[in-house]
């Protein structure tokens, strides 16, 4: 049976538990003052099972969090795509959300591009342009392009992405994580119909963000 903790979390959990054990040894019961931090670290890396909804042309949320304003924006330039605006979702994850990222729809990874940058608060719109990010170009099996961008935030300092170019992926499949508080952007294919609204809470691998025509 798989433990509901992401593998990236175990080193941090081990350090937190070791520090708490040391404090208990030296300070006795006063050492429990740091226990909430260890519990938060364990909770941060939780990774529950999810059941992706079935159906044709569904684009799911890649992250848990709150949906920021839906806007029209040009995709990151590192993909060398035509500079045409596309509908963009931005999902803000606070430090208490589940941070495991999931594939929005089945397809193949056509391109990956990492770009270093700043660590502006991920809830600000300028974070999409200036912050450290990993950009993923997903070619859906229907031929459409779907872009997902992992963006580091004010507290986040490490983007983890397990994907590789050419890899075939399934809807709802885990693909990465960002430590500790961050944002994901999703650029829709042309003609996709938005199914959510600003301020809505979404869940990775379960909430339908949009549907594809045809």
Give catalytic residue positions.
182
Inter-axis angle of helices 10-27 and 35-44, to 10 degrees?
A: 170
Q: Are 93 and 178 in contact (CB under 8 A)?
A: yes
DSSP codes joined into one string, 82-104:
----EEEEEEEE-TTS--EEE-S
Per this entry, what is the length of the chain?
Answer: 214
Strands (E), the chain: 58-60, 65-67, 71-73, 86-93, 100-102, 107-115, 133-140, 145-152, 158-161, 168-169, 174-179, 182-187, 193-194, 201-202, 208-211
Question: Are the C-beta atoms of residues 147 and 203 closer than 8 Å to each other?
Answer: no
The Cα 172–Cα 59 span in angstroms is: 10
Mapping DSSP onto H, E and C, the string for 53-75 reads: CCCCCEEECCCCEEECCCEEECC
């Amino acid at each position: 049976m798989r433990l509901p903790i992401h593998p990236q979390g175990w080193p941090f959990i081990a350090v937190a538990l070791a520090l708490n054990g040391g404090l208990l040894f030296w300070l006795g019961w006063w050492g429990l003052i740091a226990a909430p931090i260890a519990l938060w670290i364990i909770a941060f890396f939780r990774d529950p099972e999810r059941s992706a909804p079935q159906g044709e042309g569904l684009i799911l949320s890649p992250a848990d969090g709150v949906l920021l304003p839906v806007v029209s924006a040009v995709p990151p330039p590192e993909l060398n795509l035509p500079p045409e605006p596309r509908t963009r979702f931005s999902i803000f994850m606070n430090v208490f959300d589940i941070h495991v990222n999931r594939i929005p729809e089945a397809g193949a990874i056509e391109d990956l591009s990492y770009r270093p940058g700043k660590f502006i608060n991920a809830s600000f719109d300028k974070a999409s342009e200036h912050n450290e990010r990993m950009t993923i170009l997903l070619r859906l099996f229907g031929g459409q392009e779907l872009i997902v961008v992992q963006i580091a935030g004010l507290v986040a300092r490490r983007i983890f992405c397990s994907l590789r170019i050419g890899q075939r992926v399934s809807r709802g499949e885990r693909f990465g994580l960002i430590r500790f508080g961050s944002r994901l952007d999703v650029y829709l294919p042309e003609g996709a119909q938005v199914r959510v609204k600003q301020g809505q809470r979404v869940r990775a691998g379960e909430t339908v963000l949009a549907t594809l025509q045809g």
